[in-house]
Amino acid sequence: MYVAPVFIPKYCILKGCDSHGHVDGVRSSHITLPGCPKYHNNVGRYFLEIRDHAQDLKSSEEMDEEIVVGKQFIKVHEPSLDGLASDADILLFRRAQQKLASDKKKEVTDHLITLAKLHGMQKGKKPLSLQVFISPLPSATTETPLYTENNIKEIVFGDWEMQTWYGSVFPPTIACLPRIYICEFCLSYVPHLVGYRRHRLRCKRRFPPGNEIYRKEKLSFFEVNGALQKEYCHNLCLLAKLYLKQKTVHEIDQVSAFLFYILTEADESGCHIVGYFSKHKAEEQDLPPAAFNNLSCLLVMPHYQRQGFGRMLIEFSYTLSRLEGRWGTPERPLSEQGLLVYRRYWRWALLSFLQPYHNRDVSFEVISEATGMTTKDIITTLLDLGMLKYMRTKYFIVNDKAKIEQILKEVGEPRPDRQIDTSCLYWLTELTPVAKTFESPQNV
């Protein structure tokens, strides 16, 4: 799938400036106030002459971007230096300005930040002032300003171009951009298309940095320890925050307490991320051994949604719970969409157990051992289905086979390739003394 490049408008925002000339004396055009000769009350040739006489200044490559003169907002110039110092001192000052303006990468970054500030002030209908553009960027310890919280409108992920739904907490130099580029294999993010193409050519990763614990045909699950792969898991959380409103675990110092189970689909180019779920490590949870949160966060990538992968991720979380000898439940609160998926799965799992069951007596413990569900979730599901009755100081499950069959038809049988095949699961726990290994995912 071809992704068309996005060109950020590059023009000087000083009123009356045509973007010609540059303070560094090399480039023929500029985009920022620090690089604007007119803002410094001079013309481009003045700084060109300074450059010609300054042998110690390094040359810089010329800008090849097309300059588009559009709306210009700033009318205030730099304060005049006439009479403040001698001509020699002013010349030294101008040469220092040249050196500072010669960093092209910093100039582009400053311009993007400036445009983001303009956009944020226009949305808030605040008056424009020069102080906004000369004030320093906030430090890492201060709260991220509002104009950078939700400016990312779309991402390029692999060969896919996707709109975002919510804001995330990327660094300010990334968060201010309307589009960012994310490597689908290592999850590194870059601000520009050129850098993204270069990264894709050089990136050697083709599958998540963890243990492959499940493989059936093209689908695989990788277990990634947040304590061992902090940067990867941190970037995964930043990506998830773009599509999950209630996603809160994104700080890199928190991912160490989580395990991440990443579902991928393989082809000749590598293992592509379908979705993932995370869960607190058992030792990090202050819960009884028999019941714990087996899922903290769940995400299915937008281009893989409505294909049964969400249900598959949930089933896999319960499969692991049963192997651990625990009864699992998702971490609350659940989103509306998450609650619907879970209710659908709970009905299917519970009724699939009751349909062939013919004994007259059954305990919640037996059901929990078979399904991995907690007693609370079992009772809630039975009440929703109207199958739990209280008579003569006892609770009875109405095991109506016809009703169960009808409900199962309404719920729908999951696709065979979206169901977990435990024979394809190779996972070592305290309860499983033997572990099998796969061949390298690179051979998929």
Active-site residue list:
331
Q: Which amino acid makes up residue 334?
A: L
Spatial separation of the C-alpha atoms in residues 273 and 210, rounded to whole Å: 13
**CA max distance for the chain:** 103
* Under 8 Å between Cβ of 398 and 388: yes
Which of 77, 70, 67, 64 has the alpha carbon at shortest distance from 13?
A: 70
Which of 167, 292, 189, 282 has the alpha carbon at shortest distance from 234?
A: 189
Spatial separation of the C-alpha atoms in residues 343 and 46, rounded to whole Å: 72
Which of 36, 10, 5, 11 has the alpha carbon at shortest distance from 23?
A: 36
* Under 8 Å between Cβ of 97 and 40: yes
Residues 6+ apart with CB under 8 A from 397: 354, 362, 382, 387, 388, 389
Contacts 24+ apart (CB under 8 A), 320-324: 320/261, 320/294, 320/427, 321/292, 321/294, 321/372, 322/369, 322/372, 323/425, 323/427, 323/429, 323/431, 323/432, 324/282, 324/429, 324/430, 324/431
The tokens for 405 are: 């069959």
* Under 8 Å between Cβ of 190 and 180: yes
Spatial separation of the C-alpha atoms in residues 276 and 255, rounded to whole Å: 14
* Under 8 Å between Cβ of 152 and 164: yes
Please, what is the Cα angle at 208 between 206 and 209, to 5 degrees? Answer: 110
SS3 content of the chain, % helix, strand, coil (to 5): 35, 15, 45
**Which residue is associated with the tokens 């995964």?**
236
Which of 275, 259, 381, 363 has the alpha carbon at shortest distance from 320?
A: 259
Spatial separation of the C-alpha atoms in residues 12 and 73, rounded to whole Å: 9
